[in-house]
Structure 1
Amino acid sequence: MSAELRLLATSEAVPEVRRQLRHHGFDVGLCVSELLTNVIDHVGEGTPVTVRVLGTPYGSTRVEVTDPDPRALPVLLRASPADESGRGLALLDALALRWGVEQGAGHKTVWCEVEGEAAEAAGHGGSAVPGPSAVAKPSRSPSACSPSP
C-alpha cells in the first residue's frame, strides 16, 4: 500500500491526484489536497513536488508532500470566521494523528499520519510498507523531525 507521484503543483492537479489516490481513503485524499494547496499558495503554482503515501508499521498511513523550498514552512493559524484562507493546516491538525516537517538541503517534506487507512487499503489487496526512519514527537503540532539516535 504505497504510492509515489511526481507532478507540478497546480490547481488542476489537485483533483487528479485525489482521484489517483482514492483507494487510499477519504482522509488521505483530504490531506494530500491540503498539502498540495499549501505548496501552490506559499511556494508557487507549478512547483515540482513528490507526493508519497506509505503504510506505517503500526497501521496508520503517512502522507508526504516534498517541494524544493526548505524555507517556506507551514504555520498553523487560527482563522477567524471572516478570513478567506488559513484553515488548511487547522483541518490537517484536526484530522491527523500527528504531522510535521522534515527539512533537507534544497527541499522540505511536510507529512502527516492518519488512522486506519492502511488497514482499509490492505483489505483491498495492498500491503503496509514501513515509512521513513525519522521519528517525530507524538504531537498534533508541527515539529522538525530528526532520526532517532
Structure 2
Amino acid sequence: MKLTVYLAGEIHTNWRNELKEKAKSLNLPVTFVGPMENHDRSDSIGEEILGEQPNIIYKDEAASSINNLRTQILMSKSDLVIALFGEKYKQWNTAMDASAAISLGKPLILIRPKEFHHPLKELSRKANVTVETVNQALKALSYIFEEA
C-alpha cells in the first residue's frame, strides 16, 4: 500500500523537508504533495497565466484562483493531510486547508505547539490526531504501516 500525503501549512520553514527526509529514511511508502513552496512563484502565478493585473488586489485574486485549484486537486487525490501550525507566521492558509481536509473527509494529522491549544481547540477536535511536533506526526504516519 502506498499513500499520498498532502502537507498543508506555512511555507517559510523547513518542516516539509524534515518530514520527507525522515519518512524516506524509514522507507515509508509515501508520496508527498502540497502547496507551491516557492513564495514568489505562488504570488505571481496568476499574472503568469492571466497576464498583468491592474493592482495588487487583482494580482492576489488571480494567484489565489490558481493556488486554490492546485490545492483542491492535490488534496482531493490525497489519502491523508498533515497540517502544521507554526509559531512564527500567520496561519490562515493552514486553517483553511485543515478545514478543507475535514470537509472532504480526509484523515487529518494536525501539528500545533502546545501554546496554540486554546485557539485551535475546535479544529483539534475535528482532526483525527493532534500532535505538537513533526516527529510525533511522523510516528503517527509510520504506525499506519506497522504490521500486527
TM-score by length of 2: 0.29
Greater share of residues in helix: 2
Structure with bigger gyration radius:
2
TM-score (norm 1): 0.29
Point out the structure with the larger strand share. 1
